[in-house]
Amino acid sequence: MELLAPAGNMDKMKMAFLYGADAVYLGGKLFGLRAFSDNFSRDELKEAVAYAHERGKRIHVTVNIFPHNEDLTALPDYLRFLRDIGVDALLIADPGIFSLARKLVPELPIHISTQANTTNWASVQFWHDLGASRVVMAREVSLADVREIHRRVPVELEGFVHGAMCISYSGRCLLSNYFTQNRDSNRGQCVQCCRFKYNVVEEKRPGQYFPVVEDERGTYIFNSKDLCLLPYLPDLYDAGLCSLKIEGRMKSVHYVATVVKVYRQAIDAYERDPEHFHVRPEWLQELEKISHRPYTRGFSVSRPTEADQVYSHSSNTQTHEFIGLVRSYDREKHIVWVEQRNHFKTGQTVEFLQPKGPLVTLTLPAMTDGDGNTITAAPHAQQLVGIPCDTPLEEYSMMRREVIRHDA
């Protein structure tokens, strides 16, 4: 089973690999559906491929916009560039881009993006017959249907298992075009209008706003919960998926590292002993610590109901916040050196999420700055802080603390 992680920039890509991803999907500056993530320049794409291949990892590049005529001008040169730097696969949704890629770079494997809305075995067979090596299932497909497709068509199947859900059919949305100045969701510029707060306006009574639901907070009628299929891991294997995909190219480094590590641990545990596998409570607790909306199982085992929407707000929730990144550990002095990412001070209890090792909890006893001076707080961005710690900690461990909630 491949664990496929999002990589919105170089730092997120490296953290995804460090925390256990087998492959990442990422986009260049053009032709991908996440125009507002950092994305990769040509030089960065070349560096990313080299970095991944040195570690036995894989790079899948998104070329999954629905192009207009002007988008096609620069496409042939870009496809040849991706071939020349050795990317492992192209993610494509549009038949025109697919056709060009098959003619110009026939040696590159093509994965059919979830944007292509592939929901049945006949469509999968169609793409397979044309030369696609993998099809990413539409998020509206149940695991029972995936199992049927796998039985009928000898092609790799990939499925989303964690992250944000789109209210539109596998992402085909026009809301951004209408609510903004030509920001096309299908050309990479989604502004997530589905998270906006809505009321109804009657045509002959302009200026009068009526709540869709009798609730003083309004309603978010398009606002889906986030997907989490960790409890269904054995079913994902049984259905015939070869790759489990995590959504989140615009999410934080903390999100990517945490989700990747949880699914890595679960996959490894299942493959060691499928018969006695169970979802550990600490894995589910970890997934609550990242920024997310309440979780849903999506379309995996049943049709979503009204309970799979969030009606009262569009903001995320999380139990912990990322406050520092471990840069090194001095084994002689028993000091961990942390790069500050958010304000912290002595006396606070923190956790260290390690790439490979167990979770470590520590109440900060003392701190020094980079020059060895005693300090009681780390208020400066990316300040290097020394903290006494008897437990050796891995480089790139993530330091975080519980979010303190105050009553309104």
**pLDDT tens-digit series, residues 157-202:** 999 999 987 776 666 666 666 666 666 665 566 777 766 777 777 7
pLDDT for 57 equals 98
pLDDT for 12 equals 96
pLDDT for 408 equals 40
Distance of CA 146 to the CA centre of its chain: 21
End-to-end Cα spacing for the chain? 46
Tokens 């496809």 found at: 79
| In 72-155, beta strands by DSSP E | 89-92, 110-112, 134-136
Give the whole-angstrom CA distance, residue 130 versus residue 141.
22
Spans of the chain, pLDDT less than 50: 214, 216-217, 407-408
Main-chain dihedrals φ then ψ at residue 345, nearest 5 degrees:
-150, 165
What domains are defined for the chain? 2-172+223-308 (3.20.20.380), 320-402 (2.40.30.10)
pLDDT for 216 equals 47
Q: To which H or E segment does residue 260 belong? A: helix 253-272
What are the residues whose beta carbons fall under 8 Å from the beta carbon of 405, sequence distance 6 or more?
none
pLDDT for 73 equals 94
